[in-house]
């Protein structure tokens, strides 16, 4: 299970690193370094396995039904990347500790960095494609946070947003690709996918799947035409750039190419797409790198170019090319990270990154200069440095590949051109910065950086040299297992020597070196030409244009849909529902009336129906006189609950009755602050239109009800009816469904109620509204706040009402009742005291803090559910026993009653919270108006 710890530790450490920053600025750096070391140690037990040719797979079942397991794997490729992520992470953590300024928040930086590190480890160690994608998206998010670390800077925010948009879009495409891939082989496990290359390549959906996955990889690895985000991501602090753009973020894309290389490569689609993108990126990156005046800009474009090179190698598709690709991944990571760090030192020391001003630094910092020179030589592909080895393999591969193809000379020629530019920009990096005259107008006088800031650079440069001179004794074993991991078989023979005799690759290297020097020597006219051509190939402008267009489109759509008028939107909504319903019904050709036997109506029902219809219409007629409408509506609720009683739903009747009263109290409380009358504003045509729409909607609802009611149906009710007593221990099936069969739903419902209560509480927090000082007819309010008879009566009623509530609650499992109804009754009994005796009187006798009640209710509900989990039953399974209580009789005690208690508490708490705090607002609105309390 150690792989899980490797991935998990950085995530946990992220929180720790952010937290310890309160104990001192540098604590986060120590913590981050420590965490990385621990992750590295956690990885060590697994190190030997890939070298022995094993693939470690560790699995924790997660959602087996969906084929989703938390499953990690470690093979050679994963090992190489895990080591790079952790090792480079360690160096960057050390470097950043000196790089970041006093005012930069260390905790946030290292927190983000560890977050990113964990996500990256997740990608390279995932065995499941969906899991991989999750970590992939996490890297997009955490790199967004890292790039925008200097949040006050406009360019950092823009760059981060651009990176997120581009890589996020790619991730979305990749999800599509992965789903296709998973469906082809029937599993999302990499082991299965990697073993089914033939099947995948012959699938009819191979091409769309390939395109989608490549979109993901190319956006991440900044391949043309998605390369533009990478230079803008340079707004990040340099340690971030060194980490993201050497070994990690942008390598995730090529990692994916390498990971899926055995199954996806070997088709003409693969060759065309991957070689095309790689070659274009290689050339464009190399060209732009030469003409950037910003040091980090130069490095950014050279990174793009090298990523193109690696992509091109995987595109060629031969095993040997893949080996070269892996090799260049390693080499590029080392020399590019050290170059970024050197650039950071220069920036740090000079206060600028503009190469037109930074000149002649050799005099000020010869040591850093030497380190930079070694790294730049590696980047240029000078012999004896590591970049030379992989670049020569690269040249060789292009020649071999071209020999079999029609465009035989084109590819080698193009890569030589790229090589020439690579030499030229490497040369420029050294010559322009360290020589070429004197510094111009620098903000600071440069000198060598602190000792330990150079250590990471030294280590990386040493690796460049060692690998370059003694490849067989240094990198060879790691390269071998990594290549095995990529190819999933033993790699073909290759020779990691510096001298292979005079062959095509060597000649190409020599041409590149000489050409590069020549180009750099004759750079003046080229620079002029480049200035003129600037803006021609500006992918950023295209991106911005697209973004602007998209926003404009979204705005236009919003303007069409959201007219800012509730009336119009409701109208559209109702008419659409009507149209859809009518079309659906007419299209089905079903008769309106079904063939179920109907119940004959009796006189009382007819009477209640007529009463209800008149009351409903009257509510509408009187609606402008608001209080009157409210009184009439009270009768409506009563009549609706009669319907529930009539048709065998006593529980619903009880609930409806209680809710009705609570609603009336609520609306009265609100009405106090609102006008008492609605003005007659609607024009006649509009009223006629609304009446027409209302009649249509009513007719539709009636027709729908009629056709439902007249049709026979199959119900799952029998299950509940049969199992209610034996399974749930209650005879009232409605209540048993609520607290047992569908208890999870009920838990959700009471959570919603609790949230509504809290939301209303929050909205009331600083709401102040003036209330009227006289009634609607202009008469002053009565002086008697709490009429004595009313106060006395309600006090008498309280214990009675609470008794009713307890009765309804306790018997709820077997007879109509239960937590919802009992809660409402209790709430009403208490509200009655507020009504008749006032807030002060009540608050002396009862707590006004209702949040704990709601919390306790939710907690009890949850704990009851968890308790049944503890005993090995599904969530919220009920246990019950019979208890004989004296006087009351045989009584069933079910664990569901505890759950019902939770429901009860939430209902009481939320209802009281809403009503009492709305009432208290009156209090707050009239602080001065106090009258003698006669109670």
**Residue from 208, 477, 675, 799 in contact with another protein (CB under 8 A):** 675
Q: Which is nearer to another protein, 85 or 642 (CB)?
A: 642
Report the site for another protein in 210-249 (rule: CB under 8 A): none
Report the site for another protein in 339-398 (rule: CB under 8 A): none
**Shortest gap between Cβ of 784 and another protein (angstroms)?**
7
**Shortest gap between Cβ of 783 and another protein (angstroms)?**
9
**Cα distance between residue 873 and residue 866, in whole Å:** 9
Asked if 691 touches another protein (CB under 8 A), the answer is yes
Report the site for another protein in 129-148 (rule: CB under 8 A): none
**Three-state SS for 294?**
strand
**Shortest gap between Cβ of 836 and another protein (angstroms)?**
7
Q: Which is nearer to another protein, 682 or 881 (CB)?
A: 682
**Shortest gap between Cβ of 686 and another protein (angstroms)?**
6
- Tokens 């990529």 correspond to 486
Asked if 922 touches another protein (CB under 8 A), the answer is yes
Report the site for another protein in 748-777 (rule: CB under 8 A): 749, 752-753, 756-757, 759-760, 763-764, 767-769, 771-772, 775
Asked if 574 touches another protein (CB under 8 A), the answer is yes
What residues does 880 pair with on adjacent strands? 894
**Shortest gap between Cβ of 749 and another protein (angstroms)?**
4
**Residue from 406, 683, 847, 849 in contact with another protein (CB under 8 A):** 683
- Tokens 């090319």 correspond to 321
Q: Which is nearer to another protein, 199 or 785 (CB)?
A: 785
**Cα distance between residue 687 and residue 565, in whole Å:** 17
The two tokens of residue 445 are: 């006088």
Contact segment (CB under 8 A) with another protein among 61-69, 240-248, 404-412, 659-667 equals: 659-667
Q: How far is CA 751 from the centre of its chain?
A: 23
Asked if 745 touches another protein (CB under 8 A), the answer is yes
Q: Which is nearer to another protein, 537 or 636 (CB)?
A: 636
**Shortest gap between Cβ of 854 and another protein (angstroms)?**
12
Contact segment (CB under 8 A) with another protein among 244-252, 545-553, 886-894, 904-912 equals: 904-912
Report the site for another protein in 793-852 (rule: CB under 8 A): 794, 797, 801, 804, 808, 814-817, 820, 824-825, 828, 831-832, 834-836, 838-839
**Three-state SS for 417?**
helix
**Cα distance between residue 863 and residue 824, in whole Å:** 23
The b-or-e profile of 191-226 (16+ CB within 10 A means b, else e) is bebbebbeebbebeebeebbebbbbbbbbbbbbbeb
Q: 297 with 155: CB under 8 angstroms?
A: no
**Shortest gap between Cβ of 788 and another protein (angstroms)?**
13
Contact segment (CB under 8 A) with another protein among 182-190, 464-472, 580-588, 636-644 equals: 636-644
**Residue from 58, 271, 400, 605 in contact with another protein (CB under 8 A):** 605
What residues does 189 pair with on adjacent strands? 128
Asked if 703 touches another protein (CB under 8 A), the answer is yes
What residues does 882 pair with on adjacent strands? 892
Asked if 923 touches another protein (CB under 8 A), the answer is yes
Assign 3-class secondary structure to 478-510: HHHHHHHHHHCCCCCCCCCCCCCCCCHHHHHHH
**Shortest gap between Cβ of 577 and another protein (angstroms)?**
10
Binding residue count for another protein, defined by CB under 8 A: 177
Contact segment (CB under 8 A) with another protein among 124-132, 484-492, 865-873, 922-930 equals: 922-930
Q: 85 with 120: CB under 8 angstroms?
A: yes
**Residue from 241, 265, 359, 656 in contact with another protein (CB under 8 A):** 656
**Shortest gap between Cβ of 118 and another protein (angstroms)?**
40
Q: Angle CA(907)–CA(635)–CA(913) in degrees, nearest 5? A: 20
The b-or-e profile of 827-865 (16+ CB within 10 A means b, else e) is bbbbbbbbbbbbeebbeeeeeeebeebbeebbebbbebb
Asked if 679 touches another protein (CB under 8 A), the answer is yes
Q: 341 with 242: CB under 8 angstroms?
A: yes
Q: 419 with 509: CB under 8 angstroms?
A: yes
Asked if 693 touches another protein (CB under 8 A), the answer is yes
Asked if 422 touches another protein (CB under 8 A), the answer is no
**Cα distance between residue 6 and residue 125, in whole Å:** 9
Asked if 586 touches another protein (CB under 8 A), the answer is no
Report the site for another protein in 550-569 (rule: CB under 8 A): 563-568
Q: 386 with 462: CB under 8 angstroms?
A: no
Asked if 626 touches another protein (CB under 8 A), the answer is yes
**Residue from 8, 667, 792, 859 in contact with another protein (CB under 8 A):** 667
**Residue from 682, 848, 881, 933 in contact with another protein (CB under 8 A):** 682
User: Could you check whether the bond before residue 225 is cis, i.e. omega within 30 degrees of 0?
Assistant: yes
> Which 8-state DSSP code applies to residue 781?
P
Asked if 787 touches another protein (CB under 8 A), the answer is yes
Which residue, 335, 328, 307, 482, is CA-closest to 391? 328
Q: Which is nearer to another protein, 95 or 834 (CB)?
A: 834
Contact segment (CB under 8 A) with another protein among 273-281, 323-331, 430-438, 595-603 equals: 595-603
The burial class, CB within 10 Å (0-12 / 13-18 / 19+), for 932 is exposed
**Residue from 705, 848, 881, 933 in contact with another protein (CB under 8 A):** 705
**Cα distance between residue 58 and residue 74, in whole Å:** 9
Element (H, E) at 61: strand 56-63
Provide the 10 A C-beta neighbour count for residue 506: 16
The two tokens of residue 717 are: 């009710």
Q: Which is nearer to another protein, 52 or 844 (CB)?
A: 844
Provide the 10 A C-beta neighbour count for residue 817: 26
Q: Which is nearer to another protein, 578 or 879 (CB)?
A: 578
């Amino acid at each position: 299970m150690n792989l899980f710890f490797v991935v998990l530790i950085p995530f946990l450490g992220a929180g720790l690193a952010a937290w310890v920053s309160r104990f001192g600025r540098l604590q986060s750096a120590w913590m981050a370094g420590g965490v990385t070391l621990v992750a590295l140690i956690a990885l060590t037990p697994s190190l030997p396995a890939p070298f022995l040719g094993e693939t470690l797979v560790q699995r924790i079942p997660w959602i087996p039904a969906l084929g989703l397991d938390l499953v990690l794997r470690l093979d050679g490729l994963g090992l190489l990347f895990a080591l790079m992520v952790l090792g480079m992470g360690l160096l960057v953590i050390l470097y950043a500790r000196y790089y970041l300024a006093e005012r930069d928040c260390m905790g946030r930086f290292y927190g983000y960095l560890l977050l990113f590190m964990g996500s990256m480890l997740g990608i390279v160690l995932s065995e499941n494609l969906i899991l991989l994608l999750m970590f992939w998206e996490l890297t997009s998010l955490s790199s967004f946070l890292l790039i925008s670390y200097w949040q006050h800077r406009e360019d950092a925010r823009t760059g981060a947003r651009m990176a997120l948009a581009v890589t996020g879009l790619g991730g979305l495409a990749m999800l599509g690709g992965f789903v296709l891939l998973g469906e082809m082989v029937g599993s999302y496990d990499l082991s299965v996918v990697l073993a089914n290359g033939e099947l995948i390549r012959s699938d009819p959906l191979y091409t769309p799947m390939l395109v989608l996955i490549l979109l993901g990889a190319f956006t991440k690895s900044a391949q043309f035409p998605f390369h533009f985000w990478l230079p803008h991501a340079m707004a990040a602090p340099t340690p971030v750039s060194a980490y993201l753009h050497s070994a990690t973020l942008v390598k995730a894309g090529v990692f994916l190419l390498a990971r899926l290389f055995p199954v996806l490569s070997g088709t003409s689609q693969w060759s065309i797409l991957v070689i095309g993108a790689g070659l274009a990126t290689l050339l464009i990156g190399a060209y732009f790198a030469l003409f950037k005046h910003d040091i980090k800009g130069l490095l950014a474009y050279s990174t793009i170019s090298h990523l193109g090179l690696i992509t091109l190698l995987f595109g060629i598709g031969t095993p040997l090319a893949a080996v070269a690709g892996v090799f260049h991944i390693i080499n590029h990571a080392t020399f590019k990270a050290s170059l970024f760090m050197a650039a950071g030192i220069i920036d740090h020391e000079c206060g600028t990154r503009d190469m037109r001003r930074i000149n002649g630094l050799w005099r000020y910092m010869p040591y850093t200069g030497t380190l930079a020179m070694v790294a730049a030589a590696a980047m240029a592909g000078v012999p004896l440095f590591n970049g030379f080895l992989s670049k020569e393999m690269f040249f060789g591969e292009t020649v071999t590949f071209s020999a079999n193809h029609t465009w035989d000379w084109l590819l080698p020629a193009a890569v030589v051109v790229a090589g020439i530019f690579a030499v030229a920009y490497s040369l420029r990096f050294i010559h322009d910065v360290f020589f070429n005259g004197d510094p111009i107008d620098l903000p600071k006088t440069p000198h060598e950086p602190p000792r330990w800031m150079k250590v990471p650079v030294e280590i990386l440069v040493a690796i460049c040299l060692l690998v370059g001179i003694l490849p067989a004794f240094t990198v060879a074993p790691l390269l071998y297992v990594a290549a095995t991991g990529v190819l999933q078989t033993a790699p073909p023979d290759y020779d990691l020597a510096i001298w292979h005799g005079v062959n095509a690759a060597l000649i190409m290297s020599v041409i590149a070196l000489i050409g590069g020097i020549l180009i750099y020597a004759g750079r003046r006219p080229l620079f002029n030409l480049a200035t003129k051509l600037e803006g021609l190939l500006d992918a950023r402008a295209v991106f911005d244009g697209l973004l602007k267009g998209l926003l404009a489109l979204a705005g236009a759509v919003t303007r069409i849909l959201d007219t800012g008028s509730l009336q119009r939107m409701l109208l559209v909504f109702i008419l659409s529902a009507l149209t859809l319903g009518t079309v659906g019904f007419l299209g089905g050709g079903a008769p309106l009336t079904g063939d179920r036997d109907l119940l004959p109506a009796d006189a009382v029902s007819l009477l209640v129906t007529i009463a209800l219809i008149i009351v409903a219409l009257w509510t509408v007629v009187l609606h402008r006189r608001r209080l009157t409408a409210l009184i009439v509506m009270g009768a409506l609720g009563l009549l609706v609950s009669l319907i529930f009683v009539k048709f065998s739903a006593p529980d619903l009747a009880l609930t409806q009755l209680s809710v009705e009263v609570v609603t009336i109290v609520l609306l009265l409380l609100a009405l106090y602050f609102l006008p008492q009358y609605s003005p007659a504003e609607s024009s006649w045509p509009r009223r006629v239109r609304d009446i027409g729409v209302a009649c249509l909607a009513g007719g539709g609802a009636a027709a729908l009800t009629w056709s439902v009611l007249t049709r026979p149906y199959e119900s799952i009710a029998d299950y509940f009816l049969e199992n209610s007593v034996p399974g749930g221990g209650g005879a009232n099936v409605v209540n048993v469904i609520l607290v047992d069969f569908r208890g999870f739903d009920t838990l959700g419902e009471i959570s919603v109620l609790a949230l509504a209560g809290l939301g209303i509480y929050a909205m009331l927090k600083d709401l102040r509204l003036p209330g009227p000082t006289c009634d609607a007819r202009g008469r002053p309010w009565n002086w008697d706040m709490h009429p004595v008879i009313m106060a006395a009566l309600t006090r008498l009623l309280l214990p009675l009402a609470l008794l009713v509530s307890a009765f309804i609650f306790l018997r709820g499992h077997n007879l109509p009742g239960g937590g919802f109804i009992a809660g409402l009754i209790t709430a009403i009994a208490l509200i009655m005291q507020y009504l008749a005796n006032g807030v002060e009187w009540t608050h002396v006798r009862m707590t006004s803090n209702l949040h704990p009640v709601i919390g306790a209710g939710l907690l009890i509900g949850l704990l009851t559910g968890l308790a049944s989990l503890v005993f090995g039953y599904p969530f919220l399974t009920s246990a019950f026993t019979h208890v004989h209580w004296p006087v009351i009789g045989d009584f069933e005690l079910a664990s569901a009653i505890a759950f019902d208690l939770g429901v009860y508490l939430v209902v009481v708490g939320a209802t009281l919270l809403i009503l009492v705090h709305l009432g208290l607002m009156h209090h707050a609105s009239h602080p001065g108006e106090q009258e003698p309390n006669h109670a």
